[in-house]
Structure 1
Amino acid sequence: MRKKFSFASRLGATVVSLGLLAGVTACGSSDSAAPAAGTSPVAATDAWVKATGTDGTTASMTGAFMNLRNSGGSAVTVISATTDVADKVEIHETVNSPSGMAMQPKQGGLPIPAGASVTLKPGGDHIMLMGLKRTLAAGDEVKLTLTFDHGDPLTVTAPVKPFTGANESYHNHATPSGN
């Protein structure tokens, strides 16, 4: 003997099936705060690049600045950076030298402890853009890709801003030994 199902009972069974399917799908979704595979635990905020040529000259180098926050469970180190607006990019520190303050490449990169932040700023640690391919005017944007010792890069888009504070000069650099 064969049972007949009414349209209403079929509709009810379909609704129940769809509800169960939605519940199973929702349980399988991932909405966690942990970084996905292939993403950096480091986030950049307040990124900017110092404008060049604001005094009528064309500078061959400038600095990039930002806050970097490591939300990961272990320390990471920024080991390099690249951009298409400069021939060379280095991670720099500002140090005391016999002739005053000088900039030099930061040996070993820029460490960021687990759960901590570092600030790249004029007169301190910064990213140096050297051999600029063009003048960087206020309002332009510069893309920088930071590479970490853990291998996952971070691309940052930084607006170009005029800045006259700190009176830093990007024309005299110390050698890695401080000379």
Structure 2
Amino acid sequence: MRILPAAMLTAALITFGLAGCGSGDDTTASGVTPAPSATASTLTIKDPWVKAADAGVMTAAFGVLVNDTDADITVTAAESAASPMELHEMTMKDGKMVMQPKAGGFVIKAKATHELSPGGDHLMLMKPAQAIEAGDEIAFSLKLSDGTAVAFTAIAKPFVGAGESYDPGMQMPASGTPMGSTKP
């Protein structure tokens, strides 16, 4: 298993330094406890994972954003040492499902969740510098509208799904034809 050194060290220091703030019940599928932000705006990510991909090939990270506070939380950006990143959504344009940057970020309502999933909202890794292989642990930081950040680690998984592609200009016909398919 490869780990991105600087990003992992930062995530580990944040996670272990703030571990006493959690309820002890918020471990993720990868066994990593999400780190709360400095202002204790309790945003966590459950079951985080990233689609394995070759170096330079766009891919995405997924999971469920959980807001346990009494106020809405907005994720305005995502960062990772593995790749430049953007927040993306899927939306209908001219009768086709297309991927595009998410204007305004992801709003997670108070006491609610927001799913990041293949074919839906996701954290886009635009051009990973090195291959992301199954089993790799990738460190991320979510930037919030209040200026704080939430660090988490996602495990890479091989995933074919609906054959989705995260290439620029990727479209999915409204008929439900899998992304990346050339058949009508």
TM more than 0.5: yes
Q: What amino acid is aligned across from residue 39 of structure 1 in structure 2? A: A
Verify: 1:92 aligned to 2:93, yes or no. no
- Give the equivalent residue in structure 1 for 2:77: 80
Q: Is contact 1:90–1:129 with CA below 8 Å preserved after alignment? A: yes
Give the structure-1-normalised TM-score.
0.71
For structure 2, the residue ranges without an aligned partner over 5 or more in a row are 1-20, 24-35, 171-184
2:59 pairs with one of 58, 62, 71: 62
| 1:13-68 residue CA offsets vs partner (Å, 9 max, x unmatched) | xxxxxxxxxxxxxxxxxx997x7953331011100000013xxxx55210000101
Tell me: CA distance 1:168–1:73, structure 2 relative to 1, closer, same or farther (3 Å). same
Q: What amino acid is aligned across from residue 162 of structure 1 in structure 2? A: P
- Give the equivalent residue in structure 1 for 2:146: 150
Per the alignment, in what secondary structure is the counterpart of residue 162 of structure 2? helix
Per the alignment, in what secondary structure is the counterpart of residue 127 of structure 2? strand
Q: What amino acid is aligned across from residue 50 of structure 1 in structure 2? A: K
Verify: 1:105 aligned to 2:98, yes or no. no
1:1-12 to 2 correspondences below 5 Å: none
Q: What amino acid is aligned across from residue 38 of structure 1 in structure 2? A: T
Tell me: CA distance 1:61–1:32, structure 2 relative to 1, closer, same or farther (3 Å). closer
Tell me which structure has the larger Cα radius of gyration. Answer: 1
Q: CA deviation at 1:129?
A: 0.5
CA RMSD of aligned residues (A): 2.3
- Give the equivalent residue in structure 2 for 1:39: 40
Q: Is contact 1:48–1:66 with CA below 8 Å preserved after alignment? A: yes
- Give the equivalent residue in structure 2 for 1:9: none
In 1, the alpha carbon distance for the partners of 2:109 and 2:154 equals 23
Per the alignment, in what secondary structure is the counterpart of residue 131 of structure 1? coil
- Give the equivalent residue in structure 1 for 2:179: none
Per the alignment, in what secondary structure is the counterpart of residue 165 of structure 1? coil
In 1, the alpha carbon distance for the partners of 2:132 and 2:96 equals 27
| 1:95-139 residue CA offsets vs partner (Å, 9 max, x unmatched) | 123373221001100000000001100000000001210110000
Q: Is contact 2:65–2:114 with CA below 8 Å preserved after alignment? A: yes
Tell me: CA distance 1:32–1:147, structure 2 relative to 1, closer, same or farther (3 Å). closer
In 2, the alpha carbon distance for the partners of 1:82 and 1:105 equals 14
Q: What amino acid is aligned across from residue 102 of structure 2 in structure 1? A: K
Tell me: CA distance 1:136–1:99, structure 2 relative to 1, closer, same or farther (3 Å). farther
Tell me: CA distance 1:134–1:63, structure 2 relative to 1, closer, same or farther (3 Å). same
- Identity over aligned pairs, percent: 40
For these two proteins, the number of residue pairs brought into alignment is: 139
For structure 1, the residue ranges without an aligned partner over 5 or more in a row are 1-30, 175-179
Verify: 1:171 aligned to 2:172, yes or no. no
> Which has the larger share of helix?
1
Tell me: CA distance 1:32–1:111, structure 2 relative to 1, closer, same or farther (3 Å). closer
Give the structure-2-normalised TM-score.
0.69
